Amino acid sequence: MTKDTLDSAGNPGADGIDDPDAPFNDCAGAEDGIMGSAYTCVNANALDNPQPNTICRPGTTFKECFVSADCPGEETCQLNYIAGEYTLRCMTAPKGAQPIGSECNLNPEDGDIMLCEADCYGIGCVGFCQTDSDCATNENGCGADNWCIDDSDTACTVDTDCSAWECVLQKNLSGDPLAPIEFDTCYARVCDLNKDCNDGDYFCRPYINGEYNDNLAWENRCVAKPANSVGLGEECEDDPDDNIPKPDCGTGWCQSGTCSAVCEQDGHCVAGGADMLCGWTEYSFDYEPKDNVVDNYLPIGLCQKWPGTNNSCTSSTDCAANPGVEACKFIETKDTASGSFDGTGLCTTVEANMGDIGDPCGGNSGISCKAGFCFGTNGEQPGWCSGLCGKTADCPQGATLGTFTGAYNLACIPYRVGVAGTMDATDDDIYVSICFPGAVYLGGFIPGNGLMQITQVPNAETNTGSSLADCSADYACTDTKETCVVFHTAQGSTGPTHVDYLCVNNKLNMPETAAPNSPSVVVNPSASLGDACTVDAQISTDTTCDTLYCLPDVGDAGYCSGLCKTDADCSALGASGTCDDVIVVDRQDDSQDVTVKACRKAESCVSCSNQTDCASGYSCINVGGPGLLAEYACAPSCSVDTDCAGTDGGSTCTESMDNKGKGEGVNACAPAGGC
């Protein structure tokens, strides 16, 4: 830099930019490349810094600006760091640069490079503005008939009503939290559906708001359709690595090779054809990835292709009208009136080369499953296909699973596919029941974390495997190494349910120690009904039950439970033992709850984590205090103080308070001295 005595407006004073009449221009003679040949010497450091940081940047005057219209010639208004601060200045735009609102790309692996007049964000080319008019994406605007000229489906009163982008204040454009800056910026409108974009050349693309906490939510934005893209329901590019070029989707994500769009109801998908339905998917988010725990689910509706009769089903046997042509697949749905989520099976047309239950899938097999469920893949190693079921009788026995060795008896078990957008409530969870080679062993009755007892075909030589014989008559198994276990099924949040009672091997394959990669050993149960046991047993030294059910007791202890017909079957539990209705499928409508009879202790201070953990007549409440003092245990349910008379709880009916001191709407006779 050889002279800096005037600012960009010609007023006296240095501004960190080489003056036009500088005696020598260090940046002269540049090649006429993508940024042209006119370059100016600019100092990035503060003017009082004795060590300047000068660099040749493309542009002439570098005058201050608010919008590109303030700039000379073909220059545009861009964000710069000059003289120690962020500022908007006129600079040369790349040759062939895309205007505000256009598609852009800076990664050659994602396609052709497309640069912007100002800056490229994930949503497209952004720029700076003073009013919405500076961001108009629809050149012709609003017609005299109050309909957008280039989008006759959008009503308008002013030209900016026909734009997919608007002028909004954007904060921290520098990306530096220690030096936040904000400018009015042309940015994509927030949308729920494609029609909200007001411009037929744009579509509503799903994004999240970036709040990685309980405020996390969808914040979809209107983005430009890719060049030569296809419409809703058409074939599109879903696998760029397969070397089979296909057009991009111009209405949303490309799902399974079909162009999709965000939706709230089936009516939003009709443009894609009669076989397009609005199916919901719940995406999981982990705020703290290291803990490997899902912190939130966000549901979103997407138009999906469902060819076929779409008759209701629980398994593919219900699609027998078109055997081999249709299979039962699960779709999550949303009631637009109530906002509640549900799910159901539908008979839909499938390709002949898709896998049936047990067939190899994924990995290097190149095979997809008819029902859409493929388990057990590991890199190139194929897995095996599962399928929908309403009961275990719908599942094959002695099945081969992909390329895995051995034969397996498959049971029908519930698989949670969504939480209906509510993390705290469980009575609205969405389930689909599928054929699976195992019984979930929790020490309890509700699916969740725990060990899996794999149900291979019985082997007399190794004394392993499970027969899955029916034991509903008396809950007894003829093979002494087997135990009668509940297998329940559920579909959606209100759909069909079923309970099977089947014989399962009561030996458990468990890690020898808690050390990582500890070898597994076969563990024989050492406790029986009423005996102490380890709740949520994890290693071989933990105490397990021959009933396969260990429930929380008072404190940190556990006791062996089991299936029962009458209270007499539970005498081993002592005076408080009762043959109780245990909820295995909790529904918002209590009349739809699915229960089984099992032995439980009906007494205060039994540990619990939710209401279904307590025996009938007891409620799960916080008997500890706020914060880390919170401790949940069962206590007699009540409405008024007189309900507490003669119970084993306290004499006062009180509402349970959570660890933050907020009432939970559950009243109980809390023991006066706590538990």
- Does the residue 61 lie in any domain? no
pLDDT at residue number 425: 83
Per-residue pLDDT of 533-562, as tens digits, reads: 998 888 999 999 999 899 999 988 899 999
pLDDT at residue number 451: 43
Tokens of 464: 């392993």
| Rounded percentage of the chain residues whose pLDDT exceeds 90 | 69
Distance CA(559)–CA(573), nearest Å, equals: 8
Q: pTM value?
A: 0.83
Tokens of 504: 């399962």
Distance CA(245)–CA(242), nearest Å, equals: 8
Per-residue pLDDT of 627-649, as tens digits, reads: 989 999 999 999 999 999 999 99
pLDDT at residue number 421: 83
Please say if the pLDDT value at position 155 is more than 80: yes
Could you list the beta-strand ranges (E) of 16-59: 39-43, 54-58
Please say if the pLDDT value at position 313 is more than 90: yes
**In which residue are the tokens 């202890």 written?**
557
Q: What is the mean pLDDT of the chain?
A: 90
Q: Are 557 and 532 in contact (CB under 8 A)?
A: yes
- Does the residue 669 lie in any domain? yes
Please say if the pLDDT value at position 207 is more than 90: yes
Mean predicted confidence (pLDDT) in 428-457: 65
51-60, 308-317, 320-329: range with lowest mean pLDDT: 320-329
- Does the residue 235 lie in any domain? no
* Residue ranges making up the domain that contains 660: 617-675
Per DSSP, 164 falls in state S
- Does the residue 52 lie in any domain? no
**Nearest CA-CA partner of 265 in 253, 249, 280, 275:** 280
Per-residue pLDDT of 11-24, as tens digits, reads: 999 999 999 888 88
Kindly indicate the confidence band of residue 522, based on its pLDDT and cuts at 50, 70 and 90: confident
Within 10 Å of residue 606's Cβ, how many Cβ atoms? 25
pLDDT at residue number 243: 77
162-176, 515-529, 541-555, 612-626: range with lowest mean pLDDT: 162-176
pLDDT at residue number 387: 96
**With 0-12 CB in 10 A as exposed, 13-18 as middle and 19+ as buried, what is 613?**
buried
Count of domains in the chain?
1
pLDDT at residue number 192: 96
Per DSSP, 140 falls in state T
Q: Are 472 and 465 in contact (CB under 8 A)?
A: no
- Does the residue 196 lie in any domain? no
Per DSSP, 570 falls in state G
Please say if the pLDDT value at position 124 is more than 90: yes
Per-residue pLDDT of 234-263, as tens digits, reads: 999 988 777 788 999 999 999 889 999 999
- Does the residue 640 lie in any domain? yes
**In which residue are the tokens 């904000």 written?**
182
CA distance to 161, 310, 346, 351, 491, per residue, from 307 (Å):
37, 7, 10, 11, 21
- Does the residue 425 lie in any domain? no
**Phi and psi angles of residue 596, each rounded to the nearest 5 degrees, phi first:** -130, 155
- Does the residue 175 lie in any domain? no
pLDDT at residue number 453: 60
Per-residue pLDDT of 554-591, as tens digits, reads: 988 899 999 999 999 999 999 999 999 998 888 999 89
Mean predicted confidence (pLDDT) in 157-173: 90
Residues 6+ apart with CB under 8 A from 173: 79, 86, 181, 182, 183, 185
